[in-house]
Structures are given as structure tokens and as C-alpha cells.
Structure 1
């Protein structure tokens, strides 16, 4: 992976960690996500109307629509998870996609699984297990299974599945984009993001207003509009940059390196928010980062 790709992914990680912290610490994570979505919709419409990059190559629309639907459900699912559990607990689970993306990418996108990739998968699985470990081996596995089945904790695992899904879909869409417009990588990436965001956040807000009184949503929006603006800009930076990089790198490596944000968020939750089980969660976050390093060990195509 090229130095430019890694730099862009790490910058994306900072943006991703920022909007997740803002979302989890909101008065209502779902409502903040809705406001953030409205801001992104406005920016997207402005960008697509003025940039001249809204022309979509043949075959890409289906991936945009699928990605938009997956992202819409992902935002709602992640917000729900943050309403029920600590960020240092939810985030490592929700961002454990490197365990699964390489396997599906091997089947569907013809990407290979190297020894370092398989080692990384084991490390990240151990990290997820450590989050549920309380000093007893059997009880730890029981805790993990109970968390998967729990009506609140299931949202973190549903979010994980959605991350895997939209990562594969976005890679397929960006491959078609760069094939059709090889000299417009940045425009391709942000056009794809803004188009799927229009779909995803429209669905997200339709759901919110159908399920909750407009007065309740509006109260949070008026109180946290500044937080929502920052979260919107961070979200655009996070996903827009990833869509650019996906045109040149294997999705397995991109998703893996991107999980560096796990340690950022875990440290914030433990050190700043004083969440419990600090050493255990920092250890889990560190193992995820080590898995990221192993996953990115094999070289791939580079940004020009």
C-alpha cells in the first residue's frame, strides 16, 4: 500500500473517530445523525450541481443504491448501539470488519488471503473476545454469545455486518468508476459518496420522523446543531477519502488499516469519558491495531 493511500486512510480515521465520539456523546444519537444527514444532503446537492461530476458511468448506479440503503440502516443501527452501551465497547465490535471483509472479498472480488491477513483475523477475533472476558474462559465465551443475542448489544453486531456489506459494495462501485474515468479519482470518490449519502440519509430521516415526534427531534437539532455540523464535515471527510483510496487499493487492506480509529475511540472512551474496564478495552483496541498492521503488510496497487 502506498504512502499516499496510508496517509489518506489515517486522515479518514481521524474524521471517523471524531464523528463517532460526537454521535455517542449526543443527547440523542439517532436525532443527531438525522441532523448530520440533513447537512450532508444539502452539501451533496450543492456539490453535485456545481462540480460537473454527477454523471454516473454505466453499471455504477446499482452499487450506489445498494450502498445508500446499507449506509442508511448502518447509521440507525450504530446510533442505536451508542444509546445502549459505552463507545469503548461498541466501537471495537462494530469496526471489526477486517475479520470478515477479506473472506468475502476472496469469494466475490478475487482478492487473496495472505498469511499476514489470516494472522490479523485471529488477532482481531481475540480482541473482540477480550471485550467480554471477565477472568474465566468459559464464562467469557458465554458473555460473548449473550451479547450477540442481547436485544441491546445485537445492534453493535448488526452494525458490523453492515460495515462488511457496504465495504464490498463500495469497492465494486469504485472499481467501475475508476475504469470509466481513470483521470478523475477524487471527483469519482466524492461523487459516489454524495450520491449514496443522498439515499442513505433520506431513508434515515424518513424513518426518524415516522417513529418519533417532530418536536422531540427538533429540540435536539436546535440544541446540538453545532455538533451536527462538525459531525457532517467529519463524515464527508471520512467516507469521501475512503472512496478515493478504494479505486487503487484492495478493500481488505483499506478496511483493515482504517480500523486504526478503534484505538483512538477506545482511548477517548476510557481516558476522557472514564468508561469502565479501561485496561481490558485498551488491550482489545491495541490488538485490533496490531491486526491492522499485519493486514496491511502485503503490498498492493498504489495511488498514482
Structure 2
């Protein structure tokens, strides 16, 4: 099965925007307020699209809205943790920790919720996590727990936990939205 040019382009654009956002966040004096304003700006930009999608869904359950609120709460935790970590450390240390740990933590939470993951998935996630945690090191012999047992890494861990929270909340909300959009498409006699 091939990948479409559109999908590949969107992934590349997303990767560059993501990297640019983090470099911009670190190049300024990072603060939770800066991250909040930047997030609200993007939210306002995408608000018309979000309202259009929600207008297509009929009778979203209360659980959807609670998950949406939970996602926003965890997004604030992520942004605050990332801003405070960037204030104390270099992006080359903070970012890999903030992005590596959710790979395993989301998988662990998924398993606790009853889904089974194959061993190959666990191996891949473990290798990604180990690779990300080794990024800040110049030599393997530099590795020691003390490199990571610091306040900046603790804030990166807070950011990672925020990522886990909003990832799980988003997944749950999307399931409700897919169901509601599927019902809307069936009611209108066509797909969305």
C-alpha cells in the first residue's frame, strides 16, 4: 500500500512546524504565558474549521465534552512543563525527554485500558525512547542518572505526562466524534 503525496507532504510540513515551534519557544524567554498566547492564537485560527466539524456531528455525548476539557487541561500541563523546562535547560536535553517518555507511557496506559500490543511494537517504542534519552550525550560513557535527575528534567517529565494525558483524552474524544459523524453521514444519506 503506497503513501499519498498529500499525506507525505502534510507529515513533512507538520514536522517542520513542530520543530520551528519548539525552536521559537526556546529562542524567546520561554514562559507559560508565551506558550498560552501562542496556543490560543492557533486555536483561534482553527476555530472556524473546528466549529464546522462539530456542526456535522449530531448529539455528541457529555463524555465527549468532558474529554475535550480534559485534553485542554493536559495541554496546559504540557505547555507549562515545557516552558519551565526550557527556562532551565537547553532544548537538546529537554525536548528528547519530553517527547521520548510519552511513547512508552501512552503505550502502557493503552495496555492498562485493555489493548494488547505486539512485542515488536514494544521493542520499537523502547528503542525510540532509549535513542531520545541518549540524544543529549556526546559519548555513551557520559550516561549517568545524575544527568537526568535535575529540575529541568523534572519539568520535561511534567510536559511528558501532559502529552500522555492529552493523547489519551484526544483518542477518547475522537472515538465519540467518529461515531457521531458516522451517524450524521448515515442520517443525511451520504458520507462526510
Residue 60 of structure 2 corresponds to residue 57 of structure 1: yes
Cα distance 1:179–1:10, how it changes in 2: closer, same or farther (>3 A)?
Answer: farther
**What is the root-mean-square deviation in Å for CA atoms of aligned residues?**
3.2
| CA gap 1:116/1:155 in 2 versus in 1, 3 angstroms | same
Is 2:87 aligned against 1:83? yes
User: 1:24 and 2:26 equivalent?
Assistant: yes
- The CA distance in 1 between the partners of 2:124 and 2:7, in whole Å, is 18
Report the Cα distance in structure 1 between the residues aligned to 2:133 and 2:47, rounded to whole angstroms: 43
Equivalent residues of 1:74, 1:162 under 8 A apart: yes
Structural mapping, 1:1-304, within 5 Å: 3=3, 7=8, 8-43=10-45, 51=52, 53-54=54-55, 57-58=60-61, 59-96=63-100, 97-108=102-113, 110-131=114-135, 140-144=143-147, 147-148=148-149, 150-182=150-182
Q: Residues 64 and 173 of structure 1 are in contact (CA less than 8 Å); yes or no, is this contact kept in structure 2?
A: yes
For residues 143 and 127 of structure 1, do their structure 2 counterparts lie closer, same or farther at Cα, with a shift above 3 Å needed? farther
Q: Is the 8 A contact 1:134 1:140 kept in 2?
A: no
- Helix, strand or coil for the counterpart of 1:168? helix
Does the 8 Å CA contact 1:132/1:143 hold for their aligned counterparts?
A: no
The higher-RCO structure (CA 8 Å, 6+ apart) is: 1
The separation in 2 between residues aligned to 1:45 and 1:10, in whole angstroms, is: 23
Q: Matched residue pairs, number? A: 180
Q: 1:46 to 1:113 in 2, by over 3 A?
A: closer
TM-score w.r.t. the length of structure 2 is 0.76
Asked if structure 1 preserves the Cα contact closer than 8 Å seen for 2:31 and 2:84, the reply is yes
Q: C-alpha deviations, 1:233-262, integer Å up to 9, x for none?
A: xxxxxxxxxxxxxxxxxxxxxxxxxxxxxx
